[in-house]
Structure 1
Amino acid sequence: MQIKRTGIVLSPNKQRVVLRPFQPPGDDRILRVIARVSTLSEAEVDNVLANVLEEFHGRHQKPKAFFERRFREIRQHLLTDAPLSENRKLLLGAYFTQEYALESAALFNPSLVWHPDQTNLPSGSRRFAMSLRAVGEGHISSIVFRSGTISQNLQVKIDEPVRFVTTPRYVPDKCYENDLFRRKLIELGLGTPFTYEVLEALPSEFTLDQLETRLKIDLREQRSRHAELVPLVDQVIILAKSNYEIQYTPDHELSERVIFPFSPTETNGIEDARFVHFHDDDGNARYYATYSAYDGQMVLPQLLETKDFLQFKMHTLNGPAVSNKGMALFPRKINGHYAMLGRQDGEHLFLMYSDMLYFWHTKELIIKPTNPWEYVQMGNCGSPIEIDAGWLVLTHGVGPMRKYCIGAMLLDLEDPSKTIARLHEPLITPNEVEREGYVPNVVYTCGALVHENHLIIPYAMSDYATTFATIEVSELLANMS
């Protein structure tokens, strides 16, 4: 069995920068910066702002709009309501803005799905959308995107990414379903008479603003329990902010879009998105991606949802079966149930079923490390791929010297708890070029595709860069037992 390496390498690009808020530590520092800018004459303000706009021209789209937004976010620190010139507002916004090179350190752990736009392509070619984990300053991970095509003769072509990276618009008025939110509170141990009373005062669908207002009212009414209830209120707000929406517009190219950590549970990164094009029983289809949210102490599995890669909804995953990393959703329901693979104990592969996409209560151990190259641990490398022979699952195994290899197995279509066959030798093992990187001796993927009866595998090389390999499906199956 021989995979075919394409020679394509996607390396991290330190030139791709995005505008991010800059917040000096402490309100006193913020006030002093504002005070210093306030001492400038209008002519000096115009001159400094012109220099900023000239120096950073061509590096960002609509920087003035970002400066305006930052000014609105810090204007609460102004000492008076005296009117300011537009240029002074923009300059204040610029002082509280920074560039962030989101993929300066690494670009890895890719996931492939077919692009929602398949128009204007040669016969036999298909367009794909690829997500990647980008790592920048402070080892903060975010999700970035690339697009490309795979021709009939398996030529993989990556579209040149645009120079700009643009942050999305956060949707502050996202509605929460009251019943669903109550269920999530119970799962997290936050279901108390106080929180139930708050929810009872809210409509069947409510916004974050309505929730925060209601929490403040009920907290004021129970002043005697203030110290006891404040931590509970904080946790409820964290849960709400972990379920949010972001939006892009069609004029933003796919490679221009980024999903940067936003919620409190994501402060230290969004890791390893596993995208899947999910088809429901009613014929509707959408993309989901399981990913790991990291706040610096704890890893939480989350679920992303989008129909078009323009509007993204982020949801918490809940239930006793949701733990550890590496969740991967099947692309359709199985016998009327959602199904997902996971590595709940960090070592073995489990199968889960649920009637509710965001709640998972049961798990079943289906695969144990069996071969020497997977004795330390094993898990999935993306969502299962449906082929005539069964569910094709790419796996990862960790062996001596913490070396990661990619394997594969075949699960029964009607009962994925049954293993039909599996590889007993790795499909991809790091070669001399691939073993050097941020984390040596690692190859890893978060999702592949089948095209023209060939498996197209994007994979990371030692947590640094990304490449592609292909293998004929029939050859792969013939080497399983």
Structure 2
Amino acid sequence: MTFPQDRLVFTPADVDLSRSPLAADLHGQTYVLGAFNPGLTRLANGNLLMMVRIAEALSNPKRDSKVHAIRWADGHYHLDGWPLETVDTADPRKFMIAGSGWRVMALTSLSWLLPVEMTPDGLDIVAVHYDRAIAPQGSFQCYGVEDARISRVDGRYVMTSCSVSPERHSTTLYTSDDALDWTFEGIVLDHQNKDMLVFEGQVGGQYWAQTRPLGDLYFAYPPGSEWRAGPSINLATSPDLFHWRPHLKPGIRPHSATVATARIGGGTPPILTDDGWLTLWHGVEPKEVVGIYRTYWSILDRDDPSKVVRTQHEPLLEANPTLTAPLEELMYVRDVVFTTGIADAGDHYVVASGEADLACRITHIPKSVFA
């Protein structure tokens, strides 16, 4: 699909690394690998707030026969080196470390979250709030804080993020009264559970969320099933936003009829419409190292979000090479659009995505598309 307002609004060139949380320890040694996957919400003043993931990478990671990664510890950022002969660097976002008997990886960048205030239509930058950036603050985040998702629930803002460390790959929760000053609330989902999206409203007196547990092993559906085994979107409920219980029924699952959604995960926090909960999610088609990421949509039953009321198997958004053409020299992955935020704008939605793991993309999508 094509839409009249569809553009990149924040790119690596818009980031001032002299104001980065890493600057005091690594000044001049890093560059912005990507400014992408923005959480999105509307502020009290009517402006939109993007919480942008800044992936900050070493300008010269390979030296002295080693490849280096950035790690936070005890209030400072340090460099760790692995011998080049022990790693696989086929994926530009990470490198795999051999010799463990199972998969172990390190990242080529460390991510932190940057609040970027936008005009009400999401198309122009109003202010970049470096003083309110969210960076690692504990050993459970020593390799970074990634992919914020923001929901407005019961008059307050709730933000989930993925915290990365050797200890665990966890989901961490932040809350705020204004979406600018955030309070860290702790770990709410443990090891390798990504893309946690809190519904913007309660269902049956409880808070609901979409989750996406990961693993290296999936059990097969029976031959002829309409479902494909692999990463899918699950559901969880909570009485207080802090303690979550997995829902017995599955959420959105990959269809066996198409390889385009062989792997799926959550995109935008579900919002309530007249027809049910609208959720945008990503499907990944296997291709080379990274795959092809596209955005899809579903409407879930307002009283039982495990039921899909309506969906469309054609993608809503695909990667747009025209948008990234001016940034060609910075490209390191392709065929990736990763939608992470949505805001109501009357007759349309403002939808925020990460484009090519590089920049923030804003698209205006008419509500009629989901009718």
TM-score range, shorter chain: 0.7 to 0.9
1:97-124 Cα distance to aligned partner (Å, 9 max, x none): 55378872210001210113x2xxxxxx
1:129-166 Cα distance to aligned partner (Å, 9 max, x none): 1111001134110000111223xxxx54322545xxxx
CA distance in structure 2 between the partners assigned to 1:3 and 1:369 by the alignment: 26
CA distance in structure 2 between the partners assigned to 1:20 and 1:290 by the alignment: 20
Normalised by the length of structure 1, the TM-score is 0.57
Task: Quote the residue 1:338 is aligned against.
Answer: 207
Task: Give the aligned residue type for 1:454.
Answer: H
CA distance in structure 1 between the partners assigned to 2:38 and 2:31 by the alignment: 13
Greater mean deviation of Cα atoms: 432-441 or 341-350: 432-441
Report the Cα offset of residue 296 of structure 1: 4.4
Task: Quote the residue 1:365 is aligned against.
Answer: 250
When the two structures are aligned, how many residues end up with a matched partner? 295
Does the C-alpha gap of structure 1 residues 113 and 439 become closer, same or farther in structure 2, counting only changes over 3 Å?
A: same
Is the contact between residue 373 and residue 405 of structure 1 (CA under 8 Å) also seen in structure 2?
Answer: no
Report the Cα offset of residue 12 of structure 1: 0.8
Does the C-alpha gap of structure 1 residues 340 and 18 become closer, same or farther in structure 2, counting only changes over 3 Å?
A: same
1:399-445 Cα distance to aligned partner (Å, 9 max, x none): 13110000100011121111101111000111333576333211012
**SS state at 1:157 partner:** coil
1:55-97 Cα distance to aligned partner (Å, 9 max, x none): xxxxxxxxxxxxxxxxxxxxxxxxxxxxxxxxxxxxxxxxx85
CA distance in structure 1 between the partners assigned to 2:344 and 2:189 by the alignment: 32
Matching residue within 135, 140, 149 for 2:110: 140
Is the contact between residue 161 and residue 256 of structure 1 (CA under 8 Å) also seen in structure 2?
Answer: no
Greater mean deviation of Cα atoms: 297-306 or 410-419: 297-306
Task: Quote the residue 2:184 is aligned against.
Answer: 314
CA distance in structure 1 between the partners assigned to 2:172 and 2:28 by the alignment: 24
Is the contact between residue 18 and residue 99 of structure 1 (CA under 8 Å) also seen in structure 2?
Answer: no
Task: Give the aligned residue type for 1:15.
Answer: D
**SS state at 1:265 partner:** helix
Report the Cα offset of residue 341 of structure 1: 0.5
Report the Cα offset of residue 4 of structure 1: 3.2
Matching residue within 273, 294, 300 for 1:387: 273
Is the contact between residue 173 and residue 188 of structure 2 (CA under 8 Å) also seen in structure 1?
Answer: no
Task: Give the aligned residue type for 2:270.
Answer: P
Report the Cα offset of residue 297 of structure 1: 6.0
Task: Quote the residue 2:144 is aligned against.
Answer: 269
Task: Give the aligned residue type for 2:244.
Answer: W
Task: Quote the residue 1:149 is aligned against.
Answer: 119
Residue pairs, 1:14-53, within 5 angstroms? 15-18=16-19
Task: Quote the residue 1:299 is aligned against.
Answer: 169
Does the C-alpha gap of structure 1 residues 391 and 103 become closer, same or farther in structure 2, counting only changes over 3 Å?
A: farther
Runs of 4+ in 1 over 4 A off after TM superposition: 19-22, 100-103
CA distance in structure 1 between the partners assigned to 2:186 and 2:17 by the alignment: 30
Is the contact between residue 104 and residue 135 of structure 1 (CA under 8 Å) also seen in structure 2?
Answer: yes
Is the contact between residue 102 and residue 135 of structure 1 (CA under 8 Å) also seen in structure 2?
Answer: no
Unaligned runs of 5+ in 2: 58-69, 71-108, 216-230
The percent of aligned pairs where both chains have the same amino acid is: 26
CA distance in structure 2 between the partners assigned to 1:458 and 1:293 by the alignment: 21
Cα RMSD for the two superposed structures:
2.5
Does the C-alpha gap of structure 1 residues 403 and 21 become closer, same or farther in structure 2, counting only changes over 3 Å?
A: closer
CA distance in structure 2 between the partners assigned to 1:351 and 1:336 by the alignment: 16
CA distance in structure 2 between the partners assigned to 1:433 and 1:341 by the alignment: 32
